[in-house]
Amino acid sequence: MHLNQITLPVKDMDAATAFYRRLGFLQIVDTPHYARFECEEGGSSFSLSLEQSDFNNGAVLYFEEEKLDDWVAQLLKKGIEFAQMPTDMSYLWREAVLYDPSGNKIKLYWAGENRLNPPWRVEQRDP
């Protein structure tokens, strides 16, 4: 099984697409109501969908980068604001938190081996 993509709702497509391009993502689809971005590594993508009505998106979008602190420093120079600077978390990830122009929560992080193999890992599956 392979996760194809995540689609986030946005209020202003122009502001949202400019924001994600400033984060460094390649925009590969551009319409007035839908945009899609490709991540540099791993073949992943995500998209944005214009929403006319109010929404409250509780999802959190995570982007992993080994050189997290360097990436955050580059983004700060571009004027990106962070709600949380890179912080070592109790679950063994280093995370920075920011919000896109529509209020969608984003975490930039580095977890290394702990992403898939934390000390408390379990392996459960229904037969």
pLDDT tens per residue, range 1-51: 778 889 999 999 999 999 999 999 999 999 999 999 998 887 889 999 999
Let me know: does 64 contact 110? Beta carbons within 8 Å: yes
> Can you give the residue ranges of every domain in the chain?
5-112
Check residue 42 and give its pLDDT: 75
Check residue 111 and give its pLDDT: 96
pLDDT tens per residue, range 91-119: 999 999 999 999 999 999 999 999 999 99
Check residue 4 and give its pLDDT: 80
Global confidence as pTM: 0.90
The CATH code of the domain at 5-112 is: 3.10.180.10
Cα–Cα distance for residue pair 79/81, rounded to 1 Å: 6
Check residue 57 and give its pLDDT: 86
Cα–Cα distance for residue pair 91/51, rounded to 1 Å: 34
| Mean pLDDT in residue range 55-75 | 94
Amino acid symbol at 56: N
